[in-house]
Structure 1
Amino acid sequence: MKEPDVRTQVDAEKQRVRERVWQTLDARGAALDDTTHGRIPNFIGSQAAADRLAELSAWRDARVIKAVPDKAQLPARARALAEGKTVFMAVPKLADARPFYLLDPAKLSVSPNEAASSKVAASVAPRVGVSALGPVDMVVVGSVAVNRQGVRIGKGAGYSDLEFAFLMEAGLISDRTVVVSTVHSLQVLDEELPATEHDFGVDLIVTPDEVISCPAPHRPSGLVWAHLDADKIASIPVLAARAPAHDR
């Protein structure tokens, strides 16, 4: 009998964690949307978490921030732009040969708070490839769940991991880049969480109430081609252009 694929087992374990956290957030009224299911939770207190993040020296020192486009991280993106930091975030599903929106605070035609909205950014920010980006000082991500060791579970689409690995291979994310997740305290779990080789961990967890430093979180060295199926590669131009050079 063929043994079950290990990654399939891990994916199932991750989904069980997601469902539990989504259910808890919804039951406790801890999110701004009607439901958190299937999403990076837009948690109550996201502004307070962004304010707490902004108190950290790593934030003050950061000039270039790679951020996710989720609603919960909008306060952090807006604050970064207001403070003169360059912010970039991915085009949805990386479905463009120039897969990032580049928000230069010196060139904004709208307010930082407006520009930080993913919908507005899509209309006011140029789409660029990695050659137009500088080294990343900080990565700000959302999560469905994290633990105090820095293991992170996203919503399951896998794009944040792909973006991270792609930028690692491009030399824009290094071991010196600080990776932060802003979350509600209910999303911080005191338990082991499942992870695979391609999952990246976080250095810092910031909630409205505390900052948690995570010891030696895992970082992939780059893209794990064996974990990408042909359809996924074909749907992402920057991967499709490079795939022939890799043994998948």
Structure 2
Amino acid sequence: MDTQLLKLSHAFPLPIKWAPAASKPPLNLPSIPQPKPPFPPPFSRNLTATAARRTFDEAAYEAERLSLDAAARDSMAEQSAIEGDPKAWKWVIRKRIWDLMEARNIAQFPRPVHHRIPNFTGATVAAQKLSELQVFKEAKCVKVNPDTPQKQVRFLTLNGGKKLLTPQPRLRTGFFSVLEYSMLSPDTIKEACTSVGVAKYGKPIGLEEKIKVDLIVVGSVAVDPKTGARLGKGEGFAELEYGMLRYMCSIDDSTPIVTSVHDEQLVDDIPIEKLLVHDVPVDIICTPTRVIFTNTSIPKPQGIYWDKLSPEKLGQIKILRELKRKIERETGEKLPTGPSEKLPPTARRKR
């Protein structure tokens, strides 16, 4: 997944850009927020019905999530095994880190850590260091990934009286959910920090929501402390979520991006010249032993890059398909689609 942006202003060379019709203001300009019409009625009704529902079937939700993961595993091939894959170097680094964490037993449940954002020994300590950052203390709304190693970050966000924005896992069963301490009780706050709890207690929002995000926390497989270059697990969801928040005018270039990782996940061999325009760099790294300010010079993505978004990835995510149709209706122009791809395998959880 990579690029053709609704709007771009940095140094990465790009093919011919798609742009909206001249009679319409350009989309996706964080510095000049544009009012956006609501989604078509069916989409809005679904969100309203979900938000209004007072009961939540945990077993059904978890069964659906596991079923989707199992179906994905059956249909996906190992991306790193594809001959000539230009992203093969990323898989070499990921596998090295995953293997190392398992071999040194610094991995925690769920295991094995392969093909996931790895949970690591000392994750709660790294989370505490993150919560002591000035940017965290000042933030009123924090977007945190739904992975296990950042569970304590989600708890500290809620427990600190902040608004928590969390994406539904793999964006398959929904979009973002918003949670606040006032929505919870002392008995439910810890559960609300899990993927099931987010769906159970959170308020779902759509792309038309007006929300300002002050800080973004992402999970990582590997990160370079000198450049801020980051590798996720290879599915591209952090990049998609970032692009959608740019579309919503909820963030801009100044919004800090923080990751929490084990010290062994720090690397020095991510070639920044091979990074793609959608790759999200990090400004701050928190490990169990230290806090690193990267002062990254890597440009941050400016939106969603449709010409790199494969039909397979688009087929996974309903809200992206909705957004694509919405933009095409508004502009009267067909958005490009990226080349077909073999999606990476999902994680296999040991119970």
Which runs of 5 or more structure 1 residues have no equivalent in the other structure?
Answer: 1-7
Residue 132, structure 1, aligned to residue 195, structure 2: no
Amino acid at match of 1:117: T
Residue 247, structure 1, aligned to residue 336, structure 2: yes
Which runs of 5 or more structure 2 residues have no equivalent in the other structure?
Answer: 1-83, 329-334, 338-351
For 1:156 and 1:247, the matched residues in 2 are separated by: 22
Deviation at 1:195, TM superposition (A): 1.9
Residue 225, structure 1, aligned to residue 297, structure 2: no
Measured against aligned partners, the alpha-carbon deviations of 1:178-227 in whole angstroms (never above 9, x if no partner) come to: 10000000001122344211111111111011111112333111111111
Residue 184, structure 1, aligned to residue 262, structure 2: yes
Deviation at 1:133, TM superposition (A): 4.9
For 2:302 and 2:267, the matched residues in 1 are separated by: 26
Q: List structure 1 segments (4+ residues) > 6 angstroms apart after TM superposition.
A: none
RMSD: 1.7
Aligned to 2:145: 68
* Alignment CA distance shift 1:133-1:65 (3 Å): farther
**Equivalent residue pairs, number:** 240
The correspondence of residues 160-199 of structure 1 with structure 2, limited to 5 A, is 160-193=238-271, 194-199=274-279
Measured against aligned partners, the alpha-carbon deviations of 1:21-46 in whole angstroms (never above 9, x if no partner) come to: 00111111111134211111100101
Percent identity over paired residues: 34
Deviation at 1:114, TM superposition (A): 2.1
For 2:209 and 2:183, the matched residues in 1 are separated by: 15
Measured against aligned partners, the alpha-carbon deviations of 1:153-178 in whole angstroms (never above 9, x if no partner) come to: 01111111101111112111112211
TM-score (norm 1): 0.91
Residue 52, structure 1, aligned to residue 132, structure 2: no
Deviation at 1:95, TM superposition (A): 2.6
For 2:198 and 2:162, the matched residues in 1 are separated by: 15
Residue 157, structure 1, aligned to residue 235, structure 2: yes
Task: Tell me if structure 1 keeps the 8 A contact 2:257–2:283.
Answer: yes
Task: Tell me if structure 2 keeps the 8 A contact 1:203–1:217.
Answer: no
* Alignment CA distance shift 1:228-1:46 (3 Å): same
Aligned to 1:106: 182
For 2:238 and 2:260, the matched residues in 1 are separated by: 14
2:316 to 235, 238, 244: 235
For 1:204 and 1:77, the matched residues in 2 are separated by: 17
Q: Which 10-residue stretch deviates more, 131-140 or 14-23? A: 131-140
Aligned to 2:113: 36
